[in-house]
């Protein structure tokens, strides 16, 4: 048997632990999966410098996967959708996220980002003039200062 101070401390610890559990369970939503459900699996990605993979840009979840069986109240055996009879592994409930829609296709497919490549336009035949009106250069840009011998425009005179 322990000392009275130890018993008192153990009771306080158990009481506080029970309070923390109650607080956590207040907002926890129970997840009940059944065999045949489709779920996302949370992945633990690690940065790999030699292969230039950064964990920051790796997807957080992988899937969709199919639940084969329930091993315990909190663990499930998973399989791929294309090979439903071959088990992939066992995962805990916190690592599983249910798929809300029945459609497994992406809502908006990923598109290539960036500026589209330039397409070369064919020039009009030499005998045909284009209808684009060309403007004469402005008078201000053509002014050359009388004191500059280098031919610089007035607005371009600066120290070199």
pLDDT at 15 over 90: yes
H/E stretch holding 8 reads helix 4-27
Class of the domain covering 33-102: mainly beta
DSSP conformational letter for 127: T
Residues making up the chain, counted from first to last:
160
Cβ atoms within 10 Å, residue 78: 19
For the chain, which residues make up each domain, given as ranges? 33-102
The whole-angstrom separation of Cα 83 and Cα 121 is 50
pLDDT, position 145? 47
The pTM score is 0.49
């Amino acid at each position: 048997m322990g000392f009275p101070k130890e018993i008192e401390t153990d009771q306080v610890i158990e009481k506080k632990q029970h309070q923390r559990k109650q607080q956590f369970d207040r907002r926890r939503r129970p997840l009940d999966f059944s065999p045949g459900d489709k779920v996302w699996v949370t992945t633990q990605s690690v940065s790999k410098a030699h292969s230039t993979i950064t964990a920051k840009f790796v997807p957080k979840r992988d899937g969709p996967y199919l639940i084969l069986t329930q091993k315990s109240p909190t663990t499930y055996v998973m399989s791929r959708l294309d090979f439903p009879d071959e088990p992939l592994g066992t995962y805990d409930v916190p690592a599983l996220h249910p798929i809300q829609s029945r459609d497994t296709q992406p809502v908006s497919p990923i598109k290539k980002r960036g500026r589209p490549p330039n397409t070369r336009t064919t020039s009009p035949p030499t005998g045909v003039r284009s209808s684009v009106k060309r403007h004469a250069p402005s008078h201000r840009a053509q002014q050359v200062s009388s004191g500059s011998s280098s031919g610089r425009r007035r607005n371009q005179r600066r120290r070199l």
